Structure formats: C-alpha cells, structure tokens
Structure 1
Amino acid sequence: MNKYRAFLFAFVAVSAQLFAQTKQITLEEIWSGAFRTEGMDELNSLQNGKQYAVLNFDRASRSTSVDKYDYKTLEKTETIVSSKDLDGVNYFLSYEFSADESKLLLAADLQPIFRHSTLGVYFVYDVATKKLTRVADEHIQEPTFSPDATKVAYVKDNNIYIKSLTDGSVTQVTADGKNNAIINGVTDWVYEEEFAFVRAFEWNKASNRIAYLKFDESEVPEFSMDVYGKELYPSQYEFKYPKAGEKNSDVTLHVYNVDTKENSDLSVGSYEYIPRIEFTEDPAIVAVQTLNRHQNDLNLYFCNVDTKESKVVLHETDKAYIDVTDNLTFLEDNSFIWTSEKDGYNHIYWYDATGKLKNQITEGPWEVTAYYGYSAKDKRIYYQSVEEGSIYRDVYSIKTNGKGKKKLTSKKGTNSATFSADFSYFINNYSSATTPTMYTLNSAKDGEELKVIVDNKAAKQKFDSYGITPKEYSTITVNGNELNMYMIKPADFDATKKYPMFMYQYSGPGSQEVSDSWYGYNDYWHFMLAQQGYIVVCVDGRGTGFKGAAFKKVTQKELGKFEVEDQIEAARILGKRNYIDADRIGIWGWSFGGFMSSNCILKGNDVFSMAIAVAPVTSWRFYDSVYTERYMTTPQENASGYDDNSPLNFADQLEGAYLLVHGTGDDNVHVQNSMRMIEELVQANKQFDWAIYPDKNHGIYGGNTRLHLFTKLTNFVKENL
C-alpha cells in the first residue's frame, strides 16, 4: 500500500468514526419505526413436519398471503392463499388452520375491545376448492374450528353460536347474554387482563361437545370513563371492573351437546376463579383449573361431560400464590405434563391419567421459562430455561425420565424455538445486546444450525452507524441480594467525568427488564439520552422473576416496599461511583414502574432529584381484584400493606422534579390514580408537572401521541437532570 492510499484509508476510517459518533438518534426515527427488525409473522409448523407457513405482507400491493416453505431448503413452495385473489378482502391480519389443514380462518377488520380482545370480520377459506365463506355478517369474537373442520363456533353479543360449514346453518348455543350482565364463551375484563385469555369455550376431540364458561357480572361494581371525542358533549363508557376487595363475577362451567342441542351444568366444587379449561385426549373429559380468591390453592379437575362427575387429579397450595400458565399438555394416554414452582423453582412434571406423579423431569436452582412439547417418537421433552443465568435463555431437550439432557442452542443471549410438528427441526429466534433478532433453522436432534433464515444485518448496520455503546451487563449487591443490572454509557464515556444517571425499571412480580436481548422502543430512547450525556441504568430488584420463587415472592403483601428499597439503595450505591453525579439521579417507569418511580422520589427524596411516572398505580385499592389480591390479599385483610406503600400517603415528601402522565381512556390503570395523586400533591402544596392525554388507553399511543409523549419526557429529563 503506497503512502497516499494509506493516508486516504486512514482519513476515511477516522471520518467514518467521527460521523458515527456525531450521528444522533431522533425521536422521529424511533417512533416512525426506523429501528424495526424483520421477523417471521404467524409462524406455524405444518403436520407433515417438513414444511411451515408464514403470514407475509406485501407493502407494494398492501396485500397479505399465507405462504408455505420447506424446512430443508427454506424455499417458498406454495402460496396457500393471498388476499389479492380474494373478492372483498383487501388484506387479512391473521390466519388459523383447521386441525386437518384443509381450511383456514382468516381475520379482517379487527377492532380492539380491551388488551387481548377484538371484534372482527372472519372468513373460512377452503384450500382445495379455494372457496371463501364469511362466518357471520356481523363482527364476531374468537371463532374456532371444530377438530373435524365441519363447524366454527364463535361469540356474538355475549352468546355462543355454531356455524355449519357443510350447509351454512347457524345454531345459537346460549341466549341469555347481556352487556354488563351475562357473558358466555368469552371472559370478563379482569379475566382477560390478569388470566390472559379471551376465548372461554373449548371443543372436545370428537367435535360433539363444547365446554364453556358463563360470567355473571351483574353485581360487579361498574366503572365509567368519559370519552371526549370530537362531539359537542362527551359520552361515557361503562364496564364492569372489580377493584381489590370488591365483588367478582360469578363464573360457572357448562357443556353443550352438539347432537342433542342441550346445555348442562358441570360442578367442580368450591372456587373463586376458573382460569383455564381444556379438553383432554378423551373426548368425554374436560380438564378444569380452579383457584380460591387468594390464588394460593389450585385444583385440577377431570370432569366427565356425559356423566357430569368430576374428580380432583392434582392439588397444589402455596404460602403466597400459584401462577396460572398454559403449560398443561396431554399425551395420547391422557397422562399430562405440568409445570410447578413447588420445589422452589419452576420445573416440568409428568403425571399419569389419574394424577399420580410419574416423574419430576427437570430440577435444579434455575427456572423453566417455556414448555415447547413432547416427541412421542424419541420420548423427549423440549423446553426453554435460564440454566446459563437468569438474563439468558436457551433451548433444551430431555428424556421423560429426566436423563439425557441436551442443550440445543449455543449462542449466548436469548433463544426461543418453534419446532416442526415431528420435532425434527426447530426455527430458533435468537438475539442479544449486540445481535439483532435472527432466525435460523436448526436440527432438533443436536441443535446444529443448518441455515440462516433472517439475519437483520441491515438493522445491525444502522444501529452501528450511530456509534452507540451497547448495554453493559453486571450484577450489584443491594440489601444483601445480588441483583441483575445493565448500564448504558455515552459512546465517549470518560471515567474522570461525572454524569447524571437516569434509572429505568418496571419491578412488577415475576417481571424482567434486564435480559441479554435486542432492543425495543424504550431502549432506543435510552440510547438517545446516552448520546446526550446521560448514563442510563436498570436494576431488577427483589420481586422480579426467573431467580426462584423465594426471590420473586418476597414482596407478598407488601408491593412497593422491598422493590422501592432496592431501587433507592441501588441508586445510592451507584451514586458513590466516581463517574456518577450523585446530585443528579432520576428514575422513570410506566404502570407498575410508575408506581415505583413515584415512591422512589418520595421515600428516596435524598437520593432522587427527578422522577417520571407514566400511567402509575398510586394505590392498589384502585386496581383490579385478580392481580392485586394475588400479591396483597384484600384491603380488608391487609390495610397497612396497601397504605404504607401508597404514594398518595407520602405526597408531602416530594422534594425534586416530578412529572405525572396518564391517558383518560385507560381501562387498566384508571386515570383516577393520577387524579388522586394530583390532589394529594396540591393539598401538600408541592409543585410538579403533569400531562393528560384525552381518550388514550394504558399504552398512550395513536397518531403522533407517542412522539409527543416522548418529546415531553425528553424535555423534562434535559431540564431537570
């Protein structure tokens, strides 16, 4: 290389480095999706185990398609259906195969109700004949194929209906559905939000019975929200919302006989909640999980829908609470897989059809974080766990006798799998703090990576062009506990200088913010702040997840006590580092995180000089029964637990800068929380800032809303930290 070329090369390299260091992330880029990564939407393995289907969106034609790919070659082999070929359907938003894959259920014009629930227009597409049939003329909820693919059951106006796909006839299963009174086949607000399911009916394997839940919410207290809209007079939206200690829906279990068109009741003993129902491999047996109101006493019943007899096959209790999961899986002989924390960590158990324990399959001081399935061919269980450390995820297989464990992933970070139907392949979704999401084809036998499907190199190059320093992961000892932490430093970090520190956390029971994975919107905002001279820190304190039941459940009956103590002490410890300006420490959070940041600036007013609380709970007395009582029991039983940790009762301790943000249409954490906080601060004669977003829900989004919100948050940080 001659001297001129060497000089030119060095000049270009230095110029590129300087450009990278000066290129600034903007809020407009973040909220326009400039950092979005490519994924594989609605990935489903097909029954032959050799192919999979994906939902694809063509931006040019604004059409969607369900395309079939070959596992071995990763080549597209067929377009199963495209909206370009369908009359009256511009595009569809999701798809679902019938059990025999002869038909697809396509969803269009989805309209949100609450967090998980939607109303939509649905079509059945026959793969062989290419015939498209609309399920119902109106918008409906939760349409579901019968296992034999001859019928679709759905809910409309709180009643269950069945449409025959052979003659087009419609049968009404229930007739007593009524708004804010009786709900059949879908869940009420609090079940949807806290037990995370909407469809509350299930087909049996023979397609001749439907088990369903009925919610009588007529005596549940009603909550109303003003809807400001654009009309001359605001309207009111009213819905049933059981706050802590208040009346819940009366939930009952029923079965419909498709042949005789008769409804019957099923009895499952004494309970407060029925958080899951699922038919077993036996078409006469439905599995029903029940919980008491404290959610620390769980029964799994096997109910015979013909004889109406029920028996308890599994019973678990806990001093604190029992998490409800979707990990119950039935094998061909009706034995079943179950996950439990009963030995102190979440592990996989195998029971026979009578409920007798056959084996604890996994064990150790680590948590199983996902159950993927069972291969009858090689008698192996496939799962995800944190065996390599609580901030990492890896995929494993193990024999049902608990031996022969194999680690199937090798890259350090976060791995999750979608297996082929015959468990010969899996598509691994991997990311870390230095690698954007990538999808690879792997052998399920030994984990060997066969091919890269999506690598998101463009996203990586874009990220790198900003000269950003990735998250640094470490631990910090706080109040006698080793806590996971990440730190984001400015790219030009100088240990001899002092920087303001901005802490972010959520801290809710079982949650995790510190994980070795690729970034989301909040992260990019944090990187933007780091570019502007802030150090951003996140610490997962006591009560967060994936470090065992004792660590998670220590906050029982005292939400906001130990978690707040840990954030305050962590800030105090970090403030002693030479490069942290102890006089400029701020904290922010959303929802539970807003509850935390509010408490931190009040109880830790000698440590925090600034806090932002978005959509915060300010008293657990205002929040819903299922979530709150799981961790706090009722206000009637635990008044001090509710009040000693409520920001409302410490408003007079505010010393620093405080920004409170809420949407008036928040059906989850009601704006009542912030209004009461505002009143307490006013009466304490404390100055603070606040912002209200009309008609916006818990996510505070839509149009330019997020851009406006984060502009406000950014300005507040820059002005006060």
Structure 2
Amino acid sequence: MKVIFLLLGLFALGAAQAGGEYDEIARLRAMNRRVGGIRSMNDGEHYTVIEENNVVRYGYAEAGDGEKLLPRSLSTGIADYAFSPDERCLLVASGRTPIYRHSYTTKYYLSDGQTLEPVLPDAQAPRDASFSPDGSAILYSDRNDLYLYDMASRKTRRLTSDGEWNAVINGTTDWVYEEEFGLTRAYAFSPDGRRVAYLRFDEREVPTMQMMRFDGKLHNEAFSFKYPKAGDPNSKVQLFVVDLATGERERIDTGPDSDQYVPRIGFTPDGRLWYHRINRRQNTFEVQLCEPNGAQRTIYEERAQQYVERVDDRTVTFIDKERFLVRQESHTGFMHLYLYGIRGGFLAQVTKGPWEVTEVVAATPKRVWFLSTETSPLRRNLYSVALNGKDKRRLTPDDGYYTIAPSSGMKYYISTYSSAATPNRVEICKGDGTAVRTLETNDALRAELAATQRPAKEFFTFVTERGDTLNAYIVRPRGFDPSRRYPVLLTQYSGPGSQTVADRWSLDWEDALADKGYIVVSADGRGTGFRGERFKKQTYGRLGAMETEDQLSLARHMAAQPWVDAGRIGIYGWSYGGFMALSCALKGHGLFKMAIAVAPVTSWRYYDTIYTEIYNNLPQYNAAGYDDHSPLRLARLLDDKRTRLLLIHGTADDNVHFQHTAEMARALNRAGKRYDMMVYPDQNHSMMPDDTANVRQKMIDYTLEHL
C-alpha cells in the first residue's frame, strides 16, 4: 500500500508541476473525506449517516457493518432525513430544487424499513416538513402556506390560506431572514403536539428586486423577489399559535414595533411559548416568555452600544423548565456562557477568560459541552464544565480545529479534527473524551500530501504601522529559496466577525499558485472575529475603512521582505472579500499589480437590511458610513496603468446582486478607467449550479498572466 501511495503521490506531483490546474486542487479536496448526515438516535447508543444514498445505522460503542434503514436506495440524492419520535419511520427529502441559499423544495418519502413510498400526495412544492411530536402527522410548507398531513387518514388539512408569492409567507421565512438568520423553518410544535406556533411575514411593502434570467431561452424572463436593502421597509412579522384540534388561531402580541426582528420561536420543555425579539438597530435583544394565562415576561435582555451579535439556534439553550443558558459577549467583552433562571434571572457565569465560546455542543441538567478558542483564536477545542462554572475539562487532545456531532444525552460524540498540515480525522469518543474508535483517517490523502511535499500554511503575526497585531498565514512554494524574489497574492474575506486564518486543513484555487512559484498570504484585520468584542466592533459604522488599511499594511509588510518581488503583489476576495479587494485596488495607488474581485459589494446601500444595518447603522442615520468608502465613489482613484483589475459576477446572484458590478463598471467607465470583467450567466453567489470550477480556473489563469 505504501508503494501505491507513493506512486500516486509522484503522479500528482508531476501533474501539479506540469499544469497546476484547479482540477488537481479539486481532486485533493474531494479526497479529504468526512462522515456526513450524522444523526443521533434517541437511546444515545446508535447513530445514522447517509451512505450510498441510503440511511445507515451504526452503534457508537462497537464497530461493525451498518444496517441500511431504507429498503432501497433512492434515485435522487438524499437532501435531508428525520426520524419519527418513536424512530419507527423515516421521512426522507429526496432531491432538491433550490430557492435561495438554504431553502429548497423537494420530494418526500416515508419508510418503515420495509416499504419506501412517496408521501404528501396533495403537495405541489413541499418544503420544511417535520413530524409532529407524537408522530401522527407531518407538518410542511407549500407555496407560502402551512399544511398538516394526517398519517392515519392520509388526508391533508390546510392551516393557513393567505400565502402568496411576494406578498405573505406563513411558516417559512423571507429572503433576508433566511440569508442572515440562517432560518427557513419558521414554525414549532408544542411538546404535546396540540399547538403550532408560526411566523407570518407580510412582505408587500418590501421593495421588489428584478433579477434577469436567461436560461438559454429565446425570450428572457425576470425573476422577481422581495429584497429589503439598507434603510428599506422590512417584512412585518407576526407570531401566531394555531390549535390543531379546533383550527383556531391566536395572534401573540410581540409589541408595537412593526419593523423589529423575531428570529427564533419555540416552546420550553413544559410547553410555554417563547420568542426572540430584536430591534431594527439590532442593539437590543430580548427573550420573551408567554405564560398560560396570556401574560408575557422578559426573561433575558441584552443591550450593546453598537450591536448584539446575531442570534442562532445555540444563543439560548433551555436546560429544563426552569433554567436556560445564554451565549453572549456584552458582560465581559468575550463570548461566554451564562446560566439564567426563568423566574430567578441570572444564576451563574459558567465560563470566563480572555477567550471565546464559539458553539454550545450539548447540555444536560448538570453539564454543558462547548467549543472554544481557549488555546488560540485560530483553534477550536471541546470542553465540558458544570453549570456552576466548576470542574472544566478539556476533552480534545490535539491542537487544531474540531467540529463535534453529539449523541443524545452526550453519551458519545463524533469529532472531526484537522489542522493546517493534517486532513480530517474522524473519531468516536465517550462524553468524557475517552476515544472509542476511529472512523476515518484519510491515509491516502495524507500519504499523497507527504509524497508530493505539498506546502502547508505557516502562521505568523505582524504589527501594522498603527500598532495593531494581526494574525496571518503564509503558503510558500515548494523548494522556497530566501535568496530569490517571489510574487505574492493576498487572499482575504475581512468581514465583521469572520475568520480566514484558522488552524484547519483546506485547499482552494490559490494553492495552485504555490505550485507555480507564488507565495499566498492571508491576514485577519480589525473587525474580524474570535479576538474579543473590542477588536471586532471597532469597524462599526465605517465598513471598509480600517479593513482596507490593514490589507494595505499587509501588502507593505510583504513588500519589505527580501524574498518578495515588491512589484508583483496582488489581492483577491469574494463577496465582502470582493468589496475589500476592489477597495484595496482603488486606495492602493498602484501598490497592487493585480486585483480580483468576485461578486463584490460596491455600495452598502445596495445590500440587505439585517447584515448591513447591524454593522453600519441605518443609512438614514449614517450616510457617511455608506458613502465615504463605497468603491462607486472611488473609481477615479484606480491607477489602471499599474493595477490590473478583474471584476467577476454571476447574473443570477440573489445575494450580492449583479447591480453592484454593473454600477461599478459604469463608475469606472465614466472615470475613463480600464479593467477586465468576467460574467457568468444565470449563476448565483457561489457560481452555482455550473461554474464553481470555471471561475477558479479563470482566476488561476488571470493571476499567472497578470501577476
């Protein structure tokens, strides 16, 4: 086997030296296997995964052949699956027709292990289906309304009736909630299954975006959808509860503020409705609890001068009917865990220190398991601690980056580990961290990387002219010779709370350049995440100002190295990173020989409400923050004799609209500037469904030609 790996490695080395093309990078990325579709079963002793388009059950404790739970494999890929509460049936989503980034319609199948049949016969475009708590029914959304399918009678009942495209949405979310709150299913069953709470979005006053579709047709058509840009009206969101026995609906009073956000709803373990409430400025966050008598109480409130970090499913975790955990940064300036009582308020600070809790993995009435940056902002390790803050234990042994899939009750967990030099290693461990067995080692990839001596990231810090210390990494070409002078590509994202410099294994198109004798460098500037609230929030209200300064500082730092060709420094970025690459090209005064901006934001006035306003306030109150650093206003600064600029965009980008690049082209044209452009018809923000590889090969070719 070692000989085979060596031969494969030598072949890959030859291919890389001969071409260095993106398909070689893609091949290596595909070799980095992990375990997908993990679900813990109720007993905490077994788990399921997706294998060969089937759902397969394994035991955590003992190795063995898995048991296929579907009687046959489906002809289309499994998009998702869920067990009924008693785990006797599986609801499988097969195939997906995308709507936006997370949402899709699908075909649902029901299996009892012996049969596999289509379900939801009356649905036309079903999505977001789930079992009721007693397993007797399936609730789903179809064309903006909610429906309940009774398993015994096989009849469907319509719960809402006013759903309409670009008007009213029941039980799922509008575009901006889906994109920025990561939420598509906007309903929740009560624990006894008798009630369903759901959100109703009235988006009729939200401006309509017209996105042109071509699709190879003789007559092209516009796709219309509601998209609130900074300062625009948002959907008016209401919270309802429907009694499934009577069909009666009750509207829950969420307060007088019509443009606030309600990003999460649910029920406590003992059946009381709760919801999150965030004001339009996003600097006040509340958790509201609804009592059976109709009264409401604020059981948690957080305020911040700039903003409260966007909530997700793990911001608030209910432990039992009396206690809940909150992950927040406002108290100490670092993201930590706090225990609260529903009736008694603050109970204990569970974690503390100059580091951040990045994720709550699991919680029981006595302990909580979490991932944190305690060893380094670049790393993630798993810890557990008692809910009183005592007896904290580190459970993952290696320095690097862990992701965790917990079992029910945290009896076991499946960890996926990698580092900058080490591909994925997947292991099963007991809840106390004791290793049980290894599921995946990626030995073939490891052997090939070793045989080809593929360079890995090296981490370093540097100090800017302003005295800020920034984390960075560098990838040097094979056979790096400090007596030579190398071209350098800066790659970055730079958005608020983001992280590019992390101790985890990854490859992308930039790594093909290392095969061609280029140095690749990345730095996380001010405003990025996991170094505390002060470091992250200092860019508030001036998006693009400090972040651009920091990337220019990195370029100057690299230009000062004796092994760098100071006349051959380029920069690249996508989305927010595209905004930054473009800003650096305009403000760099020829510092960069080349810049590539993919799907760039060119004016924050064109981007959505939730993302833009949380970091930049509303344009009505901060016009300068929107205009002073907009690339549209700075087109005249491009030194096109020294900086070659490439703009890339997909015309069906529902996120950062093609409008951004079209208006940038207009501004550059008016300023008499020369630039290059690559347009991908009908491709979205990720250049899908067709051109993810094409765009990366284009960037490789462009860099080799112009840097």
Please give the TM-score of this superposition, normalised by the length of structure 1.
0.93
Deviation at 1:19, TM superposition (A): 5.7
- Residue 46 of structure 1 pairs with residue 31 of structure 2: no
- Residue 333 of structure 1 pairs with residue 321 of structure 2: yes
- 2:111 aligns to what? 125
- Residue 347 of structure 1 pairs with residue 336 of structure 2: yes
Map 1:689-704 → 2, pairs under 5 A: 689-703=676-690
Map 1:377-416 → 2, pairs under 5 A: 379-416=366-403
- 1:641 aligns to what? 625
> Greater CA deviation, 448-457 or 687-696?
448-457
- Give SS of 2:263's match: strand
- Deviation digits for residues 268-293 of structure 1, max 9, x if unmatched? 2244110111111122x111001111
Deviation at 1:49, TM superposition (A): 1.7
- 1:136 aligns to what? 121
- 2:655 aligns to what? 668
State the one-letter code of the partner of 2:90.
L
Report if aligned partners of 1:141, 1:154 keep a CA contact under 8 Å in 2. Answer: yes
State the one-letter code of the partner of 1:50.
E
- Residue 27 of structure 1 pairs with residue 26 of structure 2: no
2:665 to 671, 675, 678: 678
State the one-letter code of the partner of 1:627.
Y
Output the CA distance in 2 between the equivalents of 1:202 and 1:67.
28
Q: Mind listing any 5+ residue stretches in structure 1 that lack a counterpart?
A: 1-11, 58-63
Output the CA distance in 2 between the equivalents of 1:551 and 1:677.
30
Report if aligned partners of 2:172, 2:186 keep a CA contact under 8 Å in 1. Answer: yes
Report if aligned partners of 1:35, 1:459 keep a CA contact under 8 Å in 2. Answer: no
- Deviation digits for residues 9-66 of structure 1, max 9, x if unmatched? xxx9x99998698465422233467643222111111111211111112xxxxxx211
Deviation at 1:483, TM superposition (A): 1.0
State the one-letter code of the partner of 1:163.
Y
Report if aligned partners of 2:599, 2:648 keep a CA contact under 8 Å in 1. Answer: yes
- Deviation digits for residues 384-427 of structure 1, max 9, x if unmatched? 00000000110000011101111001111001222221322221
1:173 to 155, 159, 164: 159
> Against the structure 1 CA distance between its residues 603 and 677, is the aligned structure 2 distance closer, same or farther, given a 3 Å change threshold?
same
> Against the structure 1 CA distance between its residues 680 and 530, is the aligned structure 2 distance closer, same or farther, given a 3 Å change threshold?
same
- 2:247 aligns to what? 261
- Give SS of 1:422's match: helix
Report if aligned partners of 2:81, 2:90 keep a CA contact under 8 Å in 1. Answer: yes
- 2:584 aligns to what? 600
Deviation at 1:96, TM superposition (A): 0.9
The number of aligned residues is 692
Deviation at 1:91, TM superposition (A): 5.0
- 2:540 aligns to what? 556
- 2:81 aligns to what? 95
1:431 to 418, 443, 452: 418
- 1:37 aligns to what? 32
Report if aligned partners of 1:613, 1:661 keep a CA contact under 8 Å in 2. Answer: yes
2:69 to 80, 90, 93: 80
Output the CA distance in 2 between the equivalents of 1:21 and 1:163.
55
- 1:6 aligns to what? none
- 1:222 aligns to what? 208
Output the CA distance in 2 between the equivalents of 1:485 and 1:20.
29
Deviation at 1:130, TM superposition (A): 4.0
> Greater CA deviation, 327-336 or 181-190?
327-336
Deviation at 1:709, TM superposition (A): 1.7
Report if aligned partners of 1:286, 1:302 keep a CA contact under 8 Å in 2. Answer: yes
2:599 to 607, 615, 625: 615
- 2:305 aligns to what? 319
- 1:7 aligns to what? none
- Give SS of 1:710's match: helix
Map 1:479-494 → 2, pairs under 5 A: 479-494=466-481
- 1:443 aligns to what? 430
> Against the structure 1 CA distance between its residues 593 and 355, is the aligned structure 2 distance closer, same or farther, given a 3 Å change threshold?
farther
- 2:135 aligns to what? 149
- 1:357 aligns to what? 346
- 1:526 aligns to what? 510
- Deviation digits for residues 472-524 of structure 1, max 9, x if unmatched? 1111112322211010101111101111110000001110011011114x2xx
Output the CA distance in 1 between the equivalents of 2:12 and 2:224.
57
Report if aligned partners of 2:20, 2:516 keep a CA contact under 8 Å in 1. Answer: no
- Give SS of 2:514's match: helix
- 1:497 aligns to what? 484
Report if aligned partners of 2:109, 2:116 keep a CA contact under 8 Å in 1. Answer: no
> Against the structure 1 CA distance between its residues 230 and 355, is the aligned structure 2 distance closer, same or farther, given a 3 Å change threshold?
farther
- Deviation digits for residues 300-331 of structure 1, max 9, x if unmatched? 10023x53322211111001111212112212
> Against the structure 1 CA distance between its residues 17 and 338, is the aligned structure 2 distance closer, same or farther, given a 3 Å change threshold?
closer
Output the CA distance in 1 between the equivalents of 2:382 and 2:152.
43
> Against the structure 1 CA distance between its residues 136 and 358, is the aligned structure 2 distance closer, same or farther, given a 3 Å change threshold?
farther
Report if aligned partners of 1:21, 1:491 keep a CA contact under 8 Å in 2. Answer: no
Output the CA distance in 2 between the equivalents of 1:425 and 1:67.
18
Report if aligned partners of 2:25, 2:511 keep a CA contact under 8 Å in 1. Answer: no
2:635 to 651, 655, 678: 651
Report if aligned partners of 2:78, 2:94 keep a CA contact under 8 Å in 1. Answer: yes
Report if aligned partners of 1:20, 1:465 keep a CA contact under 8 Å in 2. Answer: no
Output the CA distance in 1 between the equivalents of 2:10 and 2:182.
51
> Greater CA deviation, 630-639 or 413-422?
413-422
Q: Mind listing any 5+ residue stretches in structure 2 that lack a counterpart?
A: 1-6
Output the CA distance in 2 between the equivalents of 1:355 and 1:570.
50
- Deviation digits for residues 355-410 of structure 1, max 9, x if unmatched? 6111110011100011011233xx11100000000001100000111011110011
State the one-letter code of the partner of 1:48.
D
Deviation at 1:165, TM superposition (A): 1.1
State the one-letter code of the partner of 1:371.
V
Larger RCO: 1 or 2 (CA < 8 Å, sep 6+): 2
Report if aligned partners of 2:576, 2:600 keep a CA contact under 8 Å in 1. Answer: yes
- Residue 199 of structure 1 pairs with residue 185 of structure 2: yes
- Residue 571 of structure 1 pairs with residue 566 of structure 2: no
Output the CA distance in 2 between the equivalents of 1:212 and 1:290.
14
- Give SS of 1:275's match: coil
Deviation at 1:582, TM superposition (A): 1.3
Map 1:218-257 → 2, pairs under 5 A: 218-257=204-243
> Against the structure 1 CA distance between its residues 175 and 21, is the aligned structure 2 distance closer, same or farther, given a 3 Å change threshold?
closer
Map 1:698-713 → 2, pairs under 5 A: 698-703=685-690, 705-713=691-699
State the one-letter code of the partner of 2:494.
S
Output the CA distance in 1 between the equivalents of 2:293 and 2:167.
30
Output the CA distance in 2 between the equivalents of 1:358 and 1:148.
34
- 2:3 aligns to what? none
Output the CA distance in 2 between the equivalents of 1:714 and 1:603.
24
- Deviation digits for residues 232-265 of structure 1, max 9, x if unmatched? 1111100011000011110011000011111110
- Give SS of 2:693's match: helix
Report if aligned partners of 2:17, 2:516 keep a CA contact under 8 Å in 1. Answer: no
- Give SS of 2:667's match: helix
> Against the structure 1 CA distance between its residues 648 and 70, is the aligned structure 2 distance closer, same or farther, given a 3 Å change threshold?
same
2:496 to 490, 502, 509: 509
- Give SS of 1:83's match: coil
> Against the structure 1 CA distance between its residues 270 and 580, is the aligned structure 2 distance closer, same or farther, given a 3 Å change threshold?
farther
- Give SS of 1:95's match: strand
Output the CA distance in 2 between the equivalents of 1:592 and 1:195.
17
Report if aligned partners of 2:241, 2:251 keep a CA contact under 8 Å in 1. Answer: yes
Output the CA distance in 2 between the equivalents of 1:83 and 1:607.
60
State the one-letter code of the partner of 2:520.
V
